[in-house]
Amino acid sequence: MAWGVPVAYNEQETRYFLIDPVLREKGYADHQRLKLETPAPVEPTGPKGKRRRGPGRTDYLLCVQVGDMPKPLPVAVLEAKKETEDPLKGMQQAKSYADCKRFDVKYVFSTNGHRYGEYDLFTSLQGGPFAFGDFPHHPDLTARYAKDTGVDVTIPEAAILFQADSPAWSQSRYYQDAAIRAAFEKCGFRSMWAGDSSGCGH
């Protein structure tokens, strides 16, 4: 290899040198707003769920954290690509939709550190590539989630979404969390607490 010839970053280097600094600048600067690993996939079937083979790695799980709530709320997945890879590669709608359903997140992003693409569950549309420097700030992603779901995460009723896991189980059962969030988002907080007969289950 000749000296002075630039070598493209691999995926790990892309994360460290290109992606992580931008995420910190955008407000994803602590573990309550950014998760780097998730448990291996679990199928929500049977009394305990069936764990599938494979590492189940998610590059970044972007979360909303409100006040002093004990647990963050995942709202998006960000997949890292190596620097030379197309950021839209692998973002077929079927795959992105599966990631959305698995975590009950509403958005899937993918980046090579220079450009990024996105999949929006609400519109079922893929967008990009866009400059990664224009990636949404944490407050903007929080506002987008609230607008698209109709869920105001700042009201007292929303606290159920941020409750910590049972001390008897050290790992987050995200497939159960996702099911709970999906139910509350579908029914609407106010109708459920007010006993509105037009809510879910009636």
Residue span of the structural domain in which 26 resides: 11-194
The answer to the question of residue 134 being in a domain is: yes
Q: Is residue 1 in a domain? A: no
DSSP state of 43: E
Tally of domains in the chain: 1
Any domain includes 107: yes
CATH code assigned at 128:
3.90.1570.30
How confident is the model over 12-36, as pLDDT tens digits? 899 999 999 999 999 999 888 888 8
Residue with tokens 């998730």: 38
Is residue 130 situated within a structural domain? yes
145 pLDDT higher than 50 = yes
Kindly report the pTM of this predicted structure. 0.75
Is the pLDDT confidence value at 53 over 60?
no
Per-residue pLDDT averaged across 114-132, rounded? 94
In a domain, 168, yes or no: yes
10 or 150: whose pLDDT is higher? 10
Say yes or no to pLDDT of 112 above 60.
yes
Within a domain: 201: no
pLDDT of 69 higher than 80:
no
Q: Which residues pair with 193 in a beta bridge?
A: none
8 Å CB contact between 113 and 132? yes
Q: Report percent pLDDT > 70 for the chain.
A: 61
202 is a domain residue: no
Nearest alpha-carbon partner for 183 in 200, 197, 198: 200
